Amino acid sequence: MSDSERSRSMSSNNSFTSMTFIQTYAKELVALLVPLITWILKRVFRAKARLRIANPHNFTFLIQQPQLDDAGNQVSPTQTVHTSSFIVWNGGTVPARNIELVFNWKPPCLNIWPPRHIIEHVETDNRYVLIFESLAPNESIYVELLSINAPLPLFLTARSDECVAQSIIMYPQPVTKPWQRRILTTLAFAGLALVIYLLLLLLQYLVLKTPLR
């Protein structure tokens, strides 16, 4: 027997041995997999708050107007206006409580939309903290910052009682038409149904091929 034939024979024997092992212990393997799959599904689909934050806009306006001091002397031939916006939203299925947004220092101009009751704190190191009482599922808040001839504070962190906010990068994206979304949703469900059907066929094959002991 040549080396290639011997190699193919060993590979076939190994495959046969593996399949025999799976068929022999299929019930035990299924019994181990079911709790694991159940735990994964519970962890993925459990009700929880999912806090997200994004910074979709930063811009600096150069104003062709001289900057003057209190005595009327020109300090600079131009002025700058810095703007920045943040979106905070709860993508989970339960409310997020006591949301905190922390900035490096207090911005000169701040706007919250839609208007909400907020609590402000300036820490001993001049860190600026904004606190919202809650965010309902799928609710979002816009935080707009503005400063004139001064830099804006850096955003540091966001958290709630339930979780730490995940930072999301945003970019422009065309809005798909309703019929396109329906087709994609239908194909996604069809693919999921196919995967489940194939798994059921595999389990059926393994269980039915298990020899009696």
- Residue (of 8, 11, 16) closest to 209 by Cα position: 16
Over residues 121-146, the pLDDT tens digits come to 999 999 999 999 999 999 999 999 99
d(CA 119, CA 100) in angstroms, rounded, equals 9
In terms of average pLDDT, the best of 58-67, 166-175, 191-200 is: 58-67
> Distance (Å, rounded) from C-alpha 57 to C-alpha 70?
32
What are residue 157's DSSP bridge partners? 102
- The neighbour count for residue 90, using CB atoms within 10 Å, is 25
> How far is 16 from 11, CA to CA, in rounded Å?
9
Asked if 76 and 67 count as a contact pair (C-beta separation under 8 A), the reply is: yes
- Whether residue 142 contacts residue 86, with contact meaning beta carbons closer than 8 Å, is answered with yes
Instruction: Give the pLDDT of residue 152.
Output: 94
Cβ count within 10 A of residue 176: 11
H-only helix segments in 55-98: none
Number of Cβ within 10 Å of residue 197's Cβ equals 10
Whole-model pTM: value is 0.67
CA gap 131, 35 in Å, rounded: 40
Q: pLDDT of 22-70, one tens digit each? A: 556 666 666 666 677 676 666 666 668 889 999 998 999 999 988 888 8
Pairing type for strands 51-63 and 166-168 reads parallel
Domain ranges in the chain are 3-46+179-208, 51-168
The HSE-up count of residue 177 (CA atoms within 13 Å, CB side) is 3
Top-level CATH class of 51-168? mainly beta
